[in-house]
Structure 1
């Protein structure tokens, strides 16, 4: 087999969470090390692929929901590799003047993201390479500032992101910094793997991720709820499993899910508005 070629500065021997996610949703932008660790995860939690695909669909529903509430600015943090239901595609279908900035720290993600955006979105979409754990660097980035007016309502998306950040990076503090920068009427959307439903399985997966470029830190519903601070959660609040069925944008009542009950309860999602 021919040796897989990686972009300059990318180590294909270290499993990468973004490329593993790409593998879970059926993408081709991954290396053997990513696939090997992803298969280890699937051996413990076979439904991971269903969960990753559902998260992609969820992002589309969240964007539709927020566009319906008049939001036309989106800051997608930890956006990951380009995939179906990209934020700008959904947003521009409903609001052609919407502005979207994707942010990720991974070189491969940003390279592919910029290539994808070269022919779409024009000046209303940008891909920024940066560390979401350092909010001042993102909020002050010239490309971000060129598209996002933080004096007006903005939607900040943290989808499938925070469970890849360890407590040592103090995610509560940096999420609070983003909340502080948002104008009244803005929204914060979060999806996060929970540790409540299957603590033994999530602990095992956390061990696997010690080989990857990021940790895996699932949290309890109570811990996840704290990320919203004093923002007002949109009813029905922070939901997981079947509790969100039939309530837009958390679930799709027209689609039968392949996930079992335990897997469904492992995924939390919430949207909150800044008063």
Structure 2
């Protein structure tokens, strides 16, 4: 278990008020806050978006969820929002996986897998015994893809190819391709704050995020800040786009 370098999952837990982080994570978090004092709001906004998109999916009749980069469990986990659903949580961070397994040990409808979301075959092989991939699944990648230094469209295309028609892909992703230059500057400060951690940030523009949804029908509203999906909440924007797509039947 790596306690020598700060990790995104544990930093996120710190910002959300959790208890599963090390001193190195708290120190890195404070450096991030120095550049963007709104970072805790950003994390809470992403968590709230997760809740809204899960409820939207259940309203579409989806009862299976694959939560990529699920992080350390906190208030508002997918299985709590959709208690009748089957859920597979996937994360590569050992603290996140260990705690999630403890939290859900008595639930047959919840699976926790330690795997790298950037290796879709590994993930899909692991969850194939728990989720019925011949039926619609909601694949969630909330506040995680900007920690992936790889070809996001190529990675997500492999999940898409394994999805049945009617399945959903929902992401949130940090970006500086914003209409508000001050918000873009704060987002760059977040990126700089993570630079020396074990989880540096890789921001992408709107065109790159749209390209990740090739083969999906984008759900309105398209490319809105997470606080404004599916409708404005009145909260301050955080510089992370929400994008939701439906797999064509």
TM range (shorter): over 0.9
Structure 1 position 146, deviation (Å): 1.9
Do structure 1's residue 74 and structure 2's residue 65 form an aligned pair? Answer: yes
2:98 counterpart residue number: 111
- Given candidates 220, 235, 244, the residue that maps to 1:271 is 244
* 2:233 is equivalent to residue 250 of structure 1: no
Aligned to 2:147: 164
Q: 2:221 aligns with which of 225, 231, 236?
A: 236
Instruction: State the partner residue of 2:157.
Output: 176
TM-score scaled by structure 2? 0.92
Unaligned runs of 5+ in 1: 1-9
The ranges of structure 1 where at least 4 consecutive aligned residues each deviate by more than 6 angstroms after the TM superposition are: none
- 2:37 equivalent in structure 1: 46
How does 1:148-163 map onto structure 2 within 5 Å?
A: 148-163=131-146
Please identify, of 217-226 and 47-56, the stretch whose mean Cα deviation from structure 2 is larger.
217-226
| CA distance 1:123–1:274, shift in 2 (3 Å) | same
Which of 111, 114, 120 pairs up with 1:126? 111
Contact 2:65 2:140 in 1 (8 A): yes
In 2: Cα distance, 1:241 partner to 1:59 partner = 9
Q: Which moved more, 1:70-79 or 1:208-217?
A: 208-217
- 2:203 aligns with 218
Tell me the secondary structure at the aligned position of residue 195 of structure 2. helix
Q: 1:73 to 1:241 in 2, by over 3 A?
A: closer
Q: Does 1:26 align with 2:17?
A: yes
**Bigger CA drift: 204-213 or 230-239?**
204-213
Q: Which of structures 1 and 2 has the bigger CA Rg?
A: 1
Distance change in 2, residues 1:125/1:274 (3 Å): same
Q: Structure 2: which 5+ residue stretches go unaligned?
A: none
Matches within 5 A, 1:59-98: 59-92=50-83, 96=84, 98=85
- Partner SS state of residue 136, structure 1: helix
Contact 1:104 1:128 in 2 (8 A): yes
- SS for the counterpart of 1:28 is coil
* 1:149 shift after superposition: 1.1
- The 8 Å contact of residues 45 and 238 in structure 2, kept in 1 or not, is answered as no
Q: 1:265 to 1:50 in 2, by over 3 A?
A: closer
d(CA) in 2 for partners of 1:236, 1:170: 25
Partners of 1:58 and 1:251 within 8 A in 2:
no
Deviates most, 190-199 or 14-23? 190-199
Give the TM-score normalised by the residue count of structure 1.
0.84
